Amino acid sequence: MRFLVLSFLFLFSISASATCSTSDSHKSHDVVFIHGIASNKGAFGHWAEYLKKYHPNECINSHFFEYDTGNNKLNLEDFIQSFDSYMHKNFEHSNSKITIVAHSQGGLITMFWLKSMDEAQDPIRHRVKNIMTMATPYYGAIIANLGYSLGTFVLPILGKKELKNMKIGSKKVVETLEFFKSSHFKDIISDKNFVTISATLAPSIFDIEGDFAVAPFSSNPNIKNEQEASTHYNIDGVHLRFRLFGTPATTLVSKYCLISPARCENSSLAIFEKEFLGNQKVKINYAKDINTFAVYLRTKEKGPFWVHSNNIQRGLRLSFIHIRDDLYFYKGYLIDGDTSAELIVSHGNRTSVIEVNSGQTSYLTH
């Protein structure tokens, strides 16, 4: 009898140690969700409830940062400052581990907030252990150029300054490219698990952008010919918060996920489990890339810069387009089945060869 009582007490002590207590902040795992442009915390659906139900021993506390997207007077820097105030208010005096899950513009807020925290030598930056960004337009989005051109009178939920920050070839995009190539950036993420996700609309009806908003080459921060910054996934998904042509939203965790992980179609959630929790219950649905790639070229030489290659699908664009000042841009498509190619660029009497990869961006300066 005594043996049974001791066994019970032992098992109870194990169970008690696995439960989460607010007094044990060092055991806590705070997950901060950041939505994208023209959105709110509803974009993540039942994500927080899922983590609480299926990962009860991980001590996860879910938090949602919301900002004034759609305000024409505000830009990315304003949102970064708001996020900084939010993070210090909620976590400055805590010892918990922090994971940031960001969608679209939220990923840019995250990266440049970390940059500012590193420059200020703020200790909160070391508490951020995991980062996951989904469909973040690190290197710009054509749809942002379109939205900026149409004006907010057509799309009132999209902030004018936000769109300007995310345009192809914008000053913020160039800043991001140069930041990601720097040793400064590598130092910032050296103690973090940085995971990025691009999504491809399946079936690939639209080749405008991979997930109907942001192309895989833009949401993949691993610049061609540079040391890889993140663990990158390409999944079936759409940028929107609802299904489109049978493809689930990248961020939205539906009620079916709460009923049964086997019925859950959210691959982003599955990647979160695999990378940060070590107990994957949801399946990852990988997508076939639509073979897009991009090249940014900074040079003081004047164009045109003509392009040809045996591996590149012929289309309307035969040369780089001049974005502004000394910046040129080319977006191309590889032949189906090819994952890399040599892009031959002609300028006057000279030619040069640029290696390109499907779903990846190259950034060159001359």
Taking only the tens place, the pLDDT of each residue in 308-351 is 887 787 565 789 999 988 999 999 888 888 889 999 999 999 99
Going 212 to 213 to 215 to 221, the CA torsion angle's sign is negative
Backbone angles phi, psi at 233, to 5 degrees: -125, 145
Q: Which residues pair with 255 in a beta bridge?
A: none
- The predicted pLDDT at position 125 comes to 94
- SS3 at position 261: helix
Q: Region 51-57: what's the mean pLDDT?
A: 96
Q: Region 143-148: what's the mean pLDDT?
A: 83
CA–CA dist 118, 186 (Å, integer): 12
- 79 vs 333 pLDDT, higher one: 79
- The predicted pLDDT at position 46 comes to 98
- 61 vs 244 pLDDT, higher one: 61
The fraction of the chain above a pLDDT of 90, given in percent, is 70
> Is 300 exposed, middle or buried, given 0-12, 13-18 or 19+ CB atoms closer than 10 A?
exposed
The fraction of the chain above a pLDDT of 70, given in percent, is 89
- Can you tell me which residue has the tokens 């045996």? 310
Q: Does residue 222 come out as left (phi exceeding 0), alpha (psi in the -120 to 50 range) or beta?
A: beta
In this structure, are residues 268 and 250 in contact, taking their beta carbons and an 8 Å threshold?
Answer: yes
β strands within the chain, DSSP E: 29-34, 60-65, 97-103, 128-134, 193-200, 231-236, 292-298, 306-308, 321-324, 327-333, 340-347, 350-357, 361-365
Strand-pair category, 292-298 with 231-236: unpaired
- The predicted pLDDT at position 21 comes to 58
**What is the Cα gyration radius of the chain?**
22
Strand order in the sheet with 361-365: 321-324, 327-333, 292-298, 361-365
Going 264 to 265 to 266 to 271, the CA torsion angle's sign is positive
- The predicted pLDDT at position 4 comes to 40
In this structure, are residues 68 and 76 in contact, taking their beta carbons and an 8 Å threshold?
Answer: no
- Give the distance, in angstroms, between the CA of residue 110 and the centroid of all CA atoms in the same chain: 10
Question: pLDDT digit string (tens) for 16-28?
Answer: 334 565 555 557 8
- The predicted pLDDT at position 24 comes to 56
- The predicted pLDDT at position 146 comes to 81
In this structure, are residues 82 and 112 in contact, taking their beta carbons and an 8 Å threshold?
Answer: no
- The predicted pLDDT at position 18 comes to 45
- The predicted pLDDT at position 152 comes to 52
CA–CA dist 170, 178 (Å, integer): 13
- The predicted pLDDT at position 201 comes to 87
CA–CA dist 327, 365 (Å, integer): 9
Of 104-113, 236-245, 298-307, 344-353, where does the model show the most confidence?
104-113
- The predicted pLDDT at position 6 comes to 39
Question: pLDDT digit string (tens) for 99-139?
Answer: 999 999 999 999 999 999 999 999 999 999 999 999 999 99
Strand-pair category, 97-103 with 350-357: unpaired
Inform me whether the pLDDT recorded for 236 exceeds 80. yes
- The predicted pLDDT at position 206 comes to 52
Q: Mention every residue, 6+ apart, whose C-beta is less than 8 A from residue 291.
A: 313, 333, 334, 335, 336, 338, 358, 359
- The predicted pLDDT at position 22 comes to 52
- SS3 at position 244: strand
- The predicted pLDDT at position 138 comes to 98
- Can you tell me which residue has the tokens 């993140």? 230
In 3-state terms, the chain is what percent helix, strand and coil (to 5)?
35, 25, 40
Q: Region 63-70: what's the mean pLDDT?
A: 96
Inform me whether the pLDDT recorded for 55 exceeds 50. yes
Question: pLDDT digit string (tens) for 36-49?
Answer: 999 999 999 999 99
On average, the pLDDT of the chain sits at 88
Least confident of 20-24, 139-143, 157-161, 291-295: 20-24
- The predicted pLDDT at position 154 comes to 47
Backbone angles phi, psi at 62, to 5 degrees: -95, 140
Q: Region 217-243: what's the mean pLDDT?
A: 93
- The predicted pLDDT at position 289 comes to 74
Length of the chain: 366
- The predicted pLDDT at position 8 comes to 37
CA–CA dist 79, 86 (Å, integer): 10
